[in-house]
Structure 1
């Protein structure tokens, strides 16, 4: 089976990779581009651990074929921080102890960032609704919700 040449933008950088027609975007990110922050949890789009933004839309990368990334822009958890500076979401997750094992955290951070880009001042209910597709077995959701709301306030300059 011949590989498909894919050109895309990942975290602001132009990239090229070869994808098997059956490779998911998750496989390509991890195996072709060495971006291992995106995790595979379920492989069926139920857990959100593999969440990325594809042309600004939050998607489960385990449900998107790598070849579908052709010409698209992808943001992974690695793209949140700016060099050595953590993104406000990352800092607030640490401050609020909103992570434990960390397996779900990259997907939740990407989903929360997508929410705050779309709605910089969400209510608690909106945060809970938006993150409903991201499963966490360790932390519970209260600390996560508080961290997202606090990060939103900081990003808005309300702090």
Structure 2
């Protein structure tokens, strides 16, 4: 079945986030891709990290990176989509897990926006963020951001 992107409500920006962990090293990548309600690319970012080995912590860091991208592109109405149900549950008010400080930072950062929603979606609706995270595993450490045109492997419009 072909990937199906789920658009946000009109006037909202959807930020799909994902994380990838290398099986052969201690490299982790968190990725975020922002699109408007028509599916048009607004921006993307990845952070290549060393030393994170827990997948759920990496997914929480991806949500935090999504907030940073939202600030960078100056949008106010947001819908964040992740394929990690536990992280989304914890952000929405669950126990916060072993990464409680990251969850607190996400909750606090979300208050800077007019409207923020965190949702869990199936991985197949999050293809671009997943591909961006995986393809960045061999990149240099640090934060990398794209504003005007998408990185390789990410479509300019979801409808292309």
TM-score (norm 1): 0.29
Larger fraction in helix:
1
Larger fraction in strand:
2
TM-score (norm 2): 0.29
> Which entry has the higher C-alpha Rg, 1 or 2?
1
